[in-house]
Amino acid sequence: MNASLPQTHSPGALAERKAYYDRIGQDSMTPLWEVLGALVPPQPRSPAVSHHWSYADVRSQVMEAGRLISAAEAERRVLILENPALRGQSGITQSLYAGLQLIMPGEVAPAHRHTQTALRLVLDGEGAYTAVDGERTTMRRGDFIITPAWTWHDHGNLGQEPVVWLDGLDIPIVRFLDAGFAEKNESEYQAETRPEGDALARYGSNMVPVDFYQAPAEPTKVFVYPWERTIAALKAVARGTPDPHFGHKQRYVNPATGRSPMPTMAAFSQLLPAGFETKPYRCTDGTVHVCLQGSVQAHVEGRDYTLHENDVLVVPSWHSLQLRAGPEAVLFSYSDRPVQQALGLWREQRA
Ligand code: GTQ
């Protein structure tokens, strides 16, 4: 030990350090030892908090946007769901974005493309479509639809009622990497180059075109996962024994690779039998949950929430989650798990 170094926190020693920090600050340097604990925490300490958005409570606010601005003027008429502890950052977690998008009858959200990947979960209303890469798909409640990075997409509403869906995007990830590009199409709509249902028939029917090969990181060609198929599969799976931590939980895959449909976001569908209670579970991927059917009590690190249909719950990284179904419940969820897994960072813990 060097006896000449000040080992105490005497006011003189601290003042000398502070003056030193000010001097090195002039050269854009700062001492690691003051921040090491925060930089390299023993376990994740997300600045995000758990939070619940009741659809019944916010629906009228979403509809009000329909009176204040058109889809054409807004480009996308969306209310961003901001984590209360991350206001101003357009994030529901540090890595994920969520928003409620509204499209009124007769409107078009014009064609554009960007390097951010989007997922949609259709919540409310009928008659809208989204077009991705030349193919339109009718949006029905519970449908999970993907807009892969850099694909042209526009949305329209040919029906009689407002349509609302949840947007999940990897906007904060792309922003963090400073890798965002976007462009607008010259025309509002993209040309339809394939009939509705083409991608699902071609890539989502336990077969792929004979000469098709996909690299592991490429996004799925199946861009719609219809609710009808999801619920039929979950009901059939639910004839078996539920997992203590998950109930009956399936992850969506790109059928050509078995991997996540998107390189940056994973998506899940989960059925909890009536009255079923999961054991506490935590994982490093902060997750956005949406209740599609029934109702669920969620217990997150000492906070309790009740989710009804179309409600959104965000559970930050490494927060313990316990769910209890009222009547039989179905939850959709998405997270950044594929990113964490690709980097060897993902962890989970089952209590
Ligand atoms: O539908 O293309 O919520 O570009 C945010 C950015 C939706 C979209 C959002 C977007 C979109």
**Mean pLDDT of the residues in the chain:** 96
| CATH of the structural domain 51-350, one choice from 2.40.50.100, 2.60.120.10, 3.30.420.40, 3.40.50.1100 | 2.60.120.10
Query: What residue ranges do the domains of the chain occupy?
Result: 51-350
Ligand 1 atom nearest to CA at 99: 3
d(CA 42, CA 32): 16
Over the stretch 115-152, which tens digit does the pLDDT of each residue have? Answer: 999 999 999 999 999 999 999 999 999 999 999 999 99
Higher pLDDT, 2 or 254: 254
Reported residue count of the chain is: 351
Strands (E), 217-265: 224-225, 248-251
Mutate to test the pocket of ligand 1, among 115, 167, 185 (most ligand atoms within 8 A of CB): 167
Q: What is the pTM of this model?
A: 0.96
From residue 155, alpha-carbon distances to 34, 96, 112, 195 in Å are: 50, 22, 10, 16
pLDDT > 90 fraction of the chain, expressed in percent and rounded: 94
d(CA 318, CA 299): 14
| Nearest CA owner, ligand 1 atom 8 | 76
* Predicted pLDDT of residue 94: 98
> Ligand 1 within 6 A of 151 CB?
no
CB of 224 closer than 8 Å to CB of 200? yes
Query: Ligand 1 centroid vs 118 CA: distance in angstroms?
Result: 7
| Nearest CA owner, ligand 1 atom 6 | 76
* Predicted pLDDT of residue 324: 98
First-to-final CA distance of the chain: 44
Element housing 274 (H / E): none
CB of 170 closer than 8 Å to CB of 150? no
Tokens of 291: 């209740």
pLDDT category at 189 given cuts 50, 70, 90 is confident
Query: Ligand 1 centroid vs 81 CA: distance in angstroms?
Result: 13
DSSP helix/strand/coil, 204: coil
d(CA 129, CA 269): 22
Over the stretch 201-257, which tens digit does the pLDDT of each residue have? Answer: 999 999 999 999 998 878 899 999 999 999 999 999 999 999 999 999 999 999 999
